[in-house]
């Protein structure tokens, strides 16, 4: 039995193709959980939101994409 994993990534189709069951859309391949055009507060908020989605995905049974 494996370990429940939520994957934050921008390459959604690659992840789907290999069967990654809990995919959360990241911001960009260049900065999955950040965004240099935002200010620090904006980035923190973005990062937090993505992580909350990831945590929620962990609680799901992994049969459907998370976000």
Evaluate whether 23 touches 12 at the Cβ level (below 8 Å): yes
The Cα–Cα gap between 64 and 47 comes to 22
**Is residue 66 a contact residue for other proteins (CB under 8 A)?**
no
Question: Is residue 6 at the binding interface for other proteins, with CB under 8 A as the rule?
Answer: yes
Binding to other proteins in span 10-29, by CB under 8 A = 10-15, 17-19, 21-22, 25-29
Tell me if 67 sits within 8 A of 53, measured CB to CB: yes
Residues in the interface with other proteins (CB under 8 A) total 46
DSSP 8-state secondary structure symbol assigned to residue 21 = S
Which residues form the interface with other proteins (CB under 8 A)? 1-15, 17-19, 21-22, 25-36, 43-44, 47-48, 50-52, 54-55, 58-59, 61-63
């Amino acid at each position: 039995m494996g370990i429940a994993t939520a994957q934050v990534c921008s390459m959604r189709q690659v992840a789907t193709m290999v069967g990654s069951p809990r995919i959360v859309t990241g911001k960009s391949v260049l900065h999955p959980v950040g965004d240099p055009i935002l200010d620090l507060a904006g980035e923190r908020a973005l990062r937090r939101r993505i992580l909350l989605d990831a945590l929620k995905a962990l609680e799901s049974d992994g049969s459907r994409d998370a976000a």
